[in-house]
Amino acid sequence: MEKKFTLPGRPKKRLFIGMLALTTVLASVVLYGIWYIARLGLAEIAEPLPLVVGGLFALLGGGAMLAILNMVLAVKGWFYLPFLQRQTYELINVLFPVAVYVAKIFGVSKRNLEGSFIATSNLLFNRLGIKVPADRLLVVTPHCLQLATCPHKITRDPNNCKRCGGCDIGSLVTLSEEMGFHFFVATGGTLARQVVYNTRPKAVLAIACERDLMSGIQDVYPLPAVGVLNIRPNGPCYNTHVDMAEVRAQLEKIIIPKEQDNG
C-alpha cells in the first residue's frame, strides 16, 4: 500500500545564493576595514606591504564574487565556467558558517539555507546533463531509513532486506535490481566514503537530511552528486522515509538507458 507523508517544501535557490552573496559582501567590508586600520603599520614594516596585502584581499573578495556570479549564470542556464565549480564549493565551505549567522538575522533557519544549497546543487547537476551507466551510479541512504525494529542487518548487504514493506529500503533494493545501480545503506560519513572508494562510481545519488546532504555533496566533489531529501514524520534520524517517485524521477534523469549505453 502506498504511504502518504507530508513532503518537504521546495527551498528557493535564490535564498542560498543571496545569503552567500551578502556574506561575501560583508566579508569584503571586514577585509577592507582590517586593511584600512593596518595599512599605516604595514607601511612602516615595508613600503609596498599595504599594496600587496590590499591586492591580496581584493583578489579574495573579487574571486568570491566571480564564483557567485558564475553560480548565478549556471542556475539561470546561461553561459558559465564549469572549472570554477571547485572554487565555489571551497567558498561555500569557508563562508557557510558565517552565512548561517547572517541568515539568522533575516529569520532564515540553517535547515532552510542547507535545503536551498541542495536545490542549487541539484539544479547545477541537472544543468550539466550528467548521465552515467547504471552500474557506475551509487545510491546511498542513511541507516535511519530502515525500520528501527527491523532485525535484519542491511548495512553491509542491503540484500539481507526481506522486503516486507515496513520501510522504503525494500523498494530501493527492488529498484536497484530493476535499474542496475549500486545501492548501499551507510551508518555514517566514514562508511559512506568507504563505499564510494570501493564502488568507484561516476555519480552519486544520496538520500539524507539537509545537513548530511550538504556535507556529503561537498565531501565527494569532484564526483558529481545529487541529493534527495528524506522525509521525517517521526523526527530526525528515526524511521525516516523518502519520496520514491522523486528518487525514480532523478534516477531516470541520470541513468543512461541500456539500449543507449555503448560502454
Distance CA 250, CA 112 (A): 21
In the 8-state DSSP scheme, what is residue 8? P
Enumerate residues 138-157 that contact ligand SF4 by CB under 6 A: 146-147, 150, 152, 154
Instruction: Work out how close the CB of 173 gets to ligand SF4 at its nearest, in angstroms, rounded to a whole number.
Output: 7
Give me the 16-55 binding string for ligand SF4, x by CB under 6 A, dash otherwise. ----------------------------------------
Among residues 19, 27, 144, 161, the one that binds ligand SF4 under rule CB under 6 A: 161
Of 36-44, 99-107, 117-125, 160-168, the window that binds ligand SF4 (rule: CB under 6 A) is 160-168
60 binds ligand SF4 per the rule CB under 6 A: no
**C-alpha to C-alpha distances, 184 to 13, 168, 173, 213, 243, nearest whole angstrom:** 29, 13, 9, 15, 17
CA 164 and chain centroid, separation? 31
Cell of 222: 569532484
For residue 144, the minimal CB distance to ligand SF4 (Å) is 12
Tell which one of 169, 196, 203, 247 touches ligand SF4 (CB under 6 A).
169
Among 110, 143, 162, 248, binds ligand SF4 (CB under 6 A): 162
- Reduced to 3 states (helix: H, G, I; strand: E, B; else coil), residue 184 is strand
| Helix residue spans in the chain (DSSP H) | 13-45, 49-76, 85-105, 110-127, 169-179, 189-199, 210-220, 244-254
Give the nearest distance from C-beta 238 to ligand SF4 in angstroms. 14
Q: With CB under 6 A as the rule, give the number of residues binding ligand SF4.
A: 13
d(CA 12, CA 153): 38
Q: Which is nearer to ligand SF4, 139 or 154 (CB)?
A: 154
Distant-in-sequence, close-in-space partners of 131: CB < 8 Å, separation ≥ 6: 253, 254, 255, 256
Residues at the contact surface with ligand SF4, assessed by CB under 6 A: 146-147, 150, 152, 154, 161-164, 166-167, 169-170
